[in-house]
Structure 1
């Protein structure tokens, strides 16, 4: 059941909240579930914080045979507001009222596009490393069918699906957010821009891991390096009918 939380992604860092150590505790009581989340600082952006907490509640509520789901965000400057909004199922705009200019759909879409850009860069960089004779301009002709069937390609395909891009083998890999291929003359520049996006995402994730470990000593055991993300840290935590993890 707790694998559902592995599907909740930090929108800015593009990693599961379970791998990032953001899940502080999980308690099962009968069919009811209570989850406490924690973040690297008390001033993490409220919209990101609400998005992750709301997604966590939705992921657990969607499971069969689950009763009441309570998700609380701890130690955040807007914890009371966010937690009250989650209990009332008020939505982001209903939770923050006049402070919420828009709903979170566009924010989510923006970071989904960035996640695709980073995944595209990882796949193409690995493709070039395996073929040092190729020039970057040749990337304009690379299609999905040319990529090896590895974890990088699988991640790229997931992100293409998320933003509505084609996943057929003949689809170009080096594309913009609308799926339009870059011409050869712009391929090198497009790859460099994608690389800057990927480096920013990876750097922020590394920074947040350090902040979380500093804020919550001992939380290091909950952190999962990106290279090891095939492991689901919460999947086998609960072995009895009721158990709490800290």
Structure 2
């Protein structure tokens, strides 16, 4: 994300100024917004192009790897970014740049029209349903990361043995905390006695289905990791300056 500037003075905001404080809090807020398909902060992906304070208004520009990324995903990301910034207590404008539906999305965001109000008859799925689909996928991928690591740490444990592994058995690390965060988001139990390997409904799989469930989850996680790597590369090709704004994917090196 490029250095923020005060458009009124034409100078960059410096540490200690009111604008600099706002921009720092804006960066922190945007860091809580995740790409719904990749389950990574949009700040780590380099999707935040700029953030500026102009005449008392916070203006944020977002960018994507291609101009034809799915409109529902693009809207969801931009809408979540705006929602994350509203608690800052000042006027907020979020704009998506260089997308084939930028005009439609930006107009809808400005009018607080909502997803269906923005796309009308073209909105083929309710936004809450779409969000739930992405959250379930993210939970499945996070679960597979943790359990694959657990198997590596316990080489004598067969895959079927994961049926008996509980959340309390998992190490207290970033991967486990990410899994618990996803469970809380979905309203699934997070007690230490709860099984680690569960379906979308929070119920454990039969013991004989565990290897198959793990393979399905691994396929999803590998796809998400691959897409994240691909999107980073596409963004750097489209916007060469975005490389400086990208951070490595969490867990990419630790669990493959």
- Within the candidate set 185, 193, 198, 2:216 is matched to 193
CA distance in structure 2 between the aligned counterparts of 1:89 and 1:62, rounded to whole angstroms:
16
Output aligned runs, 1:104-143, within 5 Å: 104-143=127-166
Question: Which protein has greater RCO, CA pairs closer than 8 Å, 6+ apart?
Answer: 1
Output aligned runs, 1:51-200, within 5 Å: 51-63=76-88, 66-200=89-223
Cα RMSD of the aligned pairs, angstroms, is 1.3
Residues 62 and 95, structure 2, Cα contact 8 Å, conserved in 1? yes
Question: How far is 1:183 from its partner?
Answer: 1.8
- Within the candidate set 65, 70, 77, 1:40 is matched to 65
Gaps of 5+ in 2: 1-24
Question: How far is 1:162 from its partner?
Answer: 0.9
Structure-2-length-normalised TM-score: 0.86
Q: CA-to-partner distance for each residue in 1:84-113, whole Å, 9 max, x for gaps?
A: 111110001101111113321111100100
CA distance in structure 1 between the aligned counterparts of 2:180 and 2:250, rounded to whole angstroms:
18
Gaps of 5+ in 1: 230-246
SS in 1 for 2:31: helix
**Superposed structure 1 runs of 4+ greater than 3 Å apart:** none
Q: Does 1:21 align with 2:46?
A: yes
- Within the candidate set 221, 229, 235, 1:206 is matched to 229
Structure-1-length-normalised TM-score: 0.90
- Within the candidate set 23, 31, 36, 1:11 is matched to 36
